[in-house]
Amino acid sequence: MISWWKIAGFILVLYSIILGILGAVPNLPILENSIRNLYFHVPMWFTMIALLLFSFIKSIQTLNNKNVVNLKFDSEAEVYAKTALVFGIAGLCTGMIWAKNTWGAYWTNDPKLNAAAVAMLLYAAYFVLRSSIDEEEKRARISAVFNIFCFPIYIVLVFILPRLTDSLHPGNGGNPGFNSYDLDSRLRMIFYPAVLGWILIGFWIANIGKRIKNLSI
């Protein structure tokens, strides 16, 4: 039997795909029909953050015991971070397509874009670090410390710094957020299920990765 939350994830994402493309959206200047990408681009980042939060928690659990490093939690932290990176790449790709259609270029000098790229590289460095250490316990300890520092830096880079300067993103640098456009809540009816659905799918993928790792150990 497949767990209920996995089925729920599938149904919610399928719902968001069907109504996200065919459903009515507010007719906004510049954005026009590209606003539909809100149902795909933003949930990718939300899923990435949720997975990174779990990776962060697992890294703390790895170092929880003063004398013994918990290797099981360490491998789980790696799986969550790996899955998060996949969603981050999907978020970047969907964002680039959206940027091309609304801002005129795939990549602009927007602080949020650059910060997101730096944050992704930070997690890429986490995997480089892991692969550079052979000794299991040492690798678990050092990479857990790195991961614990990575997550707050990621939050600062993606959520705090872009709000302090001018940014093209809605809700940043004095721009109004999407909630000010969405007067009849049409976007919310699809956006919230899409976020929840993609998060569940993300955890499903991570769960499979975790179980494969446990079997190989």
Partner 1 sequence: MKFIINQAKLDASQMNDLFGNGKMDVVVTVIAIIFTLLCGYLVMMDLRLRKLENKDKK
When the beta carbons of 36 and 130 are compared against partner 1, the nearer one is: 36
Percentage helix, strand, coil for the chain under 3-state DSSP, each rounded to 5: 75, 0, 25
Smallest distance, Å, CB 62 to partner 1? Answer: 23
Q: Does 107 bind partner 1 (CB under 8 A)?
A: no
Q: How far apart are CA 46 and CA 88, in angstroms?
A: 9
* Cα–Cα dist 160/167, whole Å: 12
DSSP string, 193-207: HHHHHHHHHHHHHHH
Q: Binding of partner 1 at residue 170 (CB under 8 A)?
A: no
Question: Interface with partner 1 includes 28 (CB under 8 A)?
Answer: no
Task: Verify binding: residue 204, partner 1, rule CB under 8 A.
Answer: yes
The two most distant CA atoms of the chain are separated, in Å, by 60
Span interacting with partner 1, options 45-53, 77-85, 93-101, 207-215, rule CB under 8 A = 207-215
Binding mask 38-57 for partner 1 (x = CB under 8 A): --------------------
> Is the CB of residue 65 less than 8 Å from the CB of residue 87?
no
Binding footprint of partner 1 on the chain (CB under 8 A): 2, 6, 10, 13-15, 17-19, 21-24, 33, 201, 204-205, 208, 211-212, 215
